[in-house]
Amino acid sequence: MANPVYLALDLPQLDAAKTLCQKVKGHIGGVKLGLEFFCAHGHHGVHEIAHLGLPVFLDLKLHDIPNTVAGAMQAIHVLEPAIVTVHASGGRAMMEDAKAAAGENCKVVAVTVLTSLDDAALGRTGVSGTAHDQVMRLADLAEASGLDGIVCSGHEVKAVHDQWRKGFFVVPGLRPGGRATGDQKRVVTPRQARDDGASVLVIGRPISRAEDPLAAAREIEGTL
């Protein structure tokens, strides 16, 4: 089975991102390039990382009117991403148009409730009920919109997998110790997320900020 770990390259320096990626390449399955990376390095940066030979997950979290999101999806065809994110709260028409505009081999997945939100923080955005309830609602909407899957935390992935058997599930908010730290509130271990049905495990700082990133990546791989 392919390694499910995608390394989140949330680094401001392109050279540092390339060096890190080269170092741990044998122990990850792909690379996730997010807003920090894309805003700093754009298409050029994506090409530079793609040259290293791993699948690229472009985590742009698109969220706008359908026409604008479809235009953005078309503009990134040339980068041939394996996975792209949009926000499920953008609604059904936006997700349908995003999927229709995506490149041929590109999975489009919808971010549901960010792993940095707990129930209280979510409530303050005006959403009623728990993060779990909201993830389940948005997973239904994403499936009905024809998307490939969703992004959710390890707290919800088992329930989502039980109701959407063919879905593709991206799980961030992973910590080898399984405890919430810093900005991540809904956290599990990589192994638990995998056992509960995650297709992709997104891991950033536990590798990128480790004293020895190669040892950290190896250790996480060994737990899976």
Ligand X SMILES: O=C(O)c1cc(=O)[nH]c(=O)n1[C@@H]1O[C@H](COP(=O)(O)O)[C@@H](O)[C@H]1O
Nearest approach, Cβ of 82 to ligand X (angstroms)? 14
- Residue with smaller CB distance to ligand X, 101 or 150: 150
178 annotated ligand-binding residue: no
Q: Is 61 a catalytic residue?
A: yes
Q: Is the distance from CB of 167 to CB of 98 less than 8 angstroms?
A: no
Nearest approach, Cβ of 175 to ligand X (angstroms)? 8
177 annotated ligand-binding residue: no
| Integer-rounded Cα radius of gyration of the chain | 17
Q: What residues between 133 and 152 interact with ligand X by CB under 6 A? A: 151
> What would the x/- binding string for ligand X be over residues 41 to 80, using CB under 6 A?
------------------x---------------------
The tokens 């503009």 sit on which residue?
75
Q: Please, what is the angle between helix 131-144 and helix 92-101, to 10°?
A: 50
189 annotated ligand-binding residue: no
Q: Is the distance from CB of 200 to CB of 83 less than 8 angstroms?
A: yes
- Residue with smaller CB distance to ligand X, 112 or 145: 112
Distance of alpha carbon 89 from alpha carbon 138, whole angstroms: 7
54 Cβ neighbours under 8 A, 6+ residues apart: 21, 25, 28, 29, 30, 31
Distance of alpha carbon 35 from alpha carbon 98, whole angstroms: 18
- Sole window of 90-98, 118-126, 189-197, 201-209 interacting with ligand X (rule: CB under 6 A): 201-209
Nearest approach, Cβ of 108 to ligand X (angstroms)? 12
Q: Is 148 a catalytic residue?
A: no
Binding-site member from 34, 45, 81, 149 for ligand X (CB under 6 A) = 34
| Cβ-based neighbour number of residue 165 at 10 Å | 7
Task: Count residues near ligand X (CB under 6 A).
Answer: 17
The tokens 């919430």 sit on which residue?
180
Binding-site member from 81, 90, 204, 213 for ligand X (CB under 6 A) = 204
Give the DSSP H or E segment for 56: strand 56-62
- Sole window of 22-30, 76-84, 109-117, 125-133 interacting with ligand X (rule: CB under 6 A): 109-117
Distance of alpha carbon 131 from alpha carbon 108, whole angstroms: 22
Q: Is 212 a catalytic residue?
A: no
| Cβ-based neighbour number of residue 166 at 10 Å | 8
> Residue numbers of the site for ligand X (CB under 6 A)?
8, 10, 34, 59, 85, 111, 114-115, 151, 172-173, 184, 202-206
Which residues are documented as binding site for substrate? 10, 32, 115, 175, 184, 204-205
Q: Among all residues, which ones are annotated catalytic?
A: 59, 61, 64
